[in-house]
Structure 1
Amino acid sequence: MKEKVLTGGELTEAEAMSLANLNTDEYDKLLESAAEITDRFGSRNFDSCSIINARSGRCPEDCKWCAQSAHHKTDIAVYQLVDRDTCMALADYNHRRGIGRFSLVTSGRTLSGKALDTVCDYYRELSERESGMGLCASMGLLDSEALRRLHEAGVKRYHCNLETAPSHFPTLCSTHTIDDKIKTIEAAREAGMEVCSGGIIGMGETMEQRVEFALTLRRIRPVSIPINVLSPIPGTPLENAAPLSSRDILQTVAIFRMIHPHAVLRFAGGRALIDPETQRKALRIGINGSIMGDLLTTIGAQIDEDIAMIRECGYNFETPGE
């Protein structure tokens, strides 16, 4: 299977599913195969991004993993759109630290009206101020017109996670579907934007369902795939979810690399729950991007610590002035 991928082929569904249940020797070979594929196809320039929780809480969707759902009782901050000065200051800080991309993320099913007008204004100003920084957006299930406006304002990449396998998603959310997400993703691409789409592991899915998830993502061909590890948040239905083992995490990363040899695999939420050695192994076998700094409703790793680990693992990460 490794040779098939290295020579430009794609794994069949049966081949991919065979990676779900491995003995120790097969598991070790999977990790080495994924590392070789990463070395062949992955850039050594680490793909970094940062996000700002630009509107928080009161979301009408009932996603079981999410602290921002109005269906759950959590202690997160609740606020409307952040002000312009806060947005610009955070973008400038991250740009000066060498972060390559910046995204506004808003809670809620979608974004429209005055709120959409405001974020488009923010993006137009960011396009002028932060030359060279890629601008991304994550604003739910937008329609074609809203996506077109964001692209015209300077957004180059739209983020919409599928979250998990189609067979598992209905057990976690009843207010929208994966098909709703795919429709938004297709509209974003038609509007001229690249697509970033991944999800969360550790929500009760099987390894076979993670393979199903990776194969579903292959249908939409995202250039960037965030891999979140569930951070159980008190007050959500998944607050008592069992933590994943290091083997679970690394096997998942390796499977995603076998199925997506050219995509950026991006560590996102939940990295604080992963020990440093497992993170380093993940960087060797497939992870070549990351969301850095604070995340949405949980704290991410510190930027300086991230940069040090990234460089230790052989990736290039330049900061202004170097």
Structure 2
Amino acid sequence: MNWKALANRILDGGEPISREEALAVLNSSDDELLEVLQAAYLIRKNWFGKKVSLHVLKNAKSGVCPEDCSFCSQSKTSTAEVAEYEMQSADEIVAGAAEAMEMQALRYCVVTSSRAPSEGELKIITEAASRIKAANPQLELCASMGFLTEEKAQRLKDSGVDRFNHNLETSANFYPSICSTHQYEDRVETAKTVKKVGLDLCCGGLIGMGETLEDRVDLALALKELQADSAPINFLDPREGTELEGQERLTPNDCLRTLAMFRFVLTHAEVRIAGGRETCLRHLQPLSLYPANSMFTNGYLTTGGSGYEADKQMIEDAGFELGHLVNA
């Protein structure tokens, strides 16, 4: 396939990428990989230039989730050794925002391990959001707290939260294989609620759980249908004590093909390299910046990362630059 011609067709306002073409990206050979990445970069550059936005996570409630997601070290079925604590205070969340600002982060993402936010947890988040926005109005705020009602989503928006994260994780077909305590449709409903109240929707998935290539394409097309503003793409780093601890990691090249496919499908959405990038992409991490335009830095929810200084150096060495989104 002529990958550059495919990218130019999309950029020129022609037909969007088809399901068959998206599958072809994932099935492309290693010999074609650089051509695939260059084509994906044409789309990325059109919308985001050479900017890379940094996102910092705050695990505000850890290890006490009642759901049974098989990949998660915080699930109720996991025996992984992770920190367990209830909801942090508004002061602690506000302090985390100051640290994010020091790392030149575009967004500060507050995450809680729960099925849905309780009234008390919602009050803490909305208080913290109001204080953070008053002190640092340029810092964008994202919350990830499980399922939302429209009323709770509106309260988050009114407090200053800009974006809500609620990943689909995988395709509708594969989802029952990784979770039984809620349904795929429940996640879709929360994603729609987020868009309905005017919050940005951050909605992505986890790749490498045993799903097929077709499942990966179906996830990307579902995110497009939901009009996700941002898609964090995680790669499974199997955690001891979880049901998927024996799953084999993806190869770096498969990770890169996956990121390129999401860029072809989600042309002008933010595509973020997220959890598992260090262990799965390994020395090819810099190439992930060709399809992706943002990344988490300074670690994840229950695992550390390569650190802000190392990430900053990688971005600069690859010829990219830190900054806010071109179309923000």
TM-score, normalised by the number of residues in structure 1? 0.94
User: C-alpha separation between the residues in 2 aligned to 1:221 and 1:106?
Assistant: 24
Q: Summarize deviations over 1:80-117 as a string: whole Å, max 9, x none.
A: 11123322222101102211111210111100222211
- For residue 69 of structure 2, the aligned residue among 54, 63, 82 is 63
Kept after mapping to 1: 8 A contact 2:144/2:164: yes
2:300 is matched with which residue?
295
Indicate yes or no: 2:276 matched with 1:270: yes
Q: How does 1:1-322 map to 2 (within 5 A)?
A: 1-9=6-14, 10-284=16-290, 286-317=291-322
Give the match's secondary structure for 1:175.
coil
CA displacement at 1:35 relative to structure 2: 2.1
Deviation at 1:20, TM superposition (A): 3.2
Going from structure 1 to structure 2, the CA distance change for 1:26 and 1:306 (only over 3 Å counts) comes to closer
Q: Which runs of 5+ in 2 are unaligned?
A: 1-5
Alignment CA distance shift 1:19-1:275 (3 Å)? closer
Q: 1:2 offset after TM fit, Å?
A: 2.3
Compared CA separation, residues 318 and 2, structure 1 to 2 (3 A): closer
Deviations 1:150-180 (A, max 9, x none): 0000001111101012211110011112211
Closer/same/farther in 2, CA of residues 24 and 301 from structure 1, 3 Å limit: closer
Let me know the Cα RMSD of the aligned residues. Answer: 1.7
Q: Is the 8 A contact 1:271 1:301 kept in 2?
A: no
Instruction: Give the C-alpha shift of residue 59 in structure 1.
Output: 1.2
Deviation at 1:3, TM superposition (A): 2.7
Give, as a single letter, the amino acid of the residue that structure 2 aligns with 1:296. Answer: L
Give the number of equivalent residue pairs: 318
**Equivalent residue letter for 2:135:** R
**By how many angstroms is 1:21 displaced?**
2.2
8 Å CA contact 2:278, 2:285 repeated in 1: no
CA distance in 1, matches of 2:29, 2:140: 42
Contact residue 147 and residue 187 of structure 1 kept, 8 A: yes
Identity of aligned residues (%): 35
- Taking the aligned partners of 2:175 and 2:163, their CA distance within structure 1 comes to 24
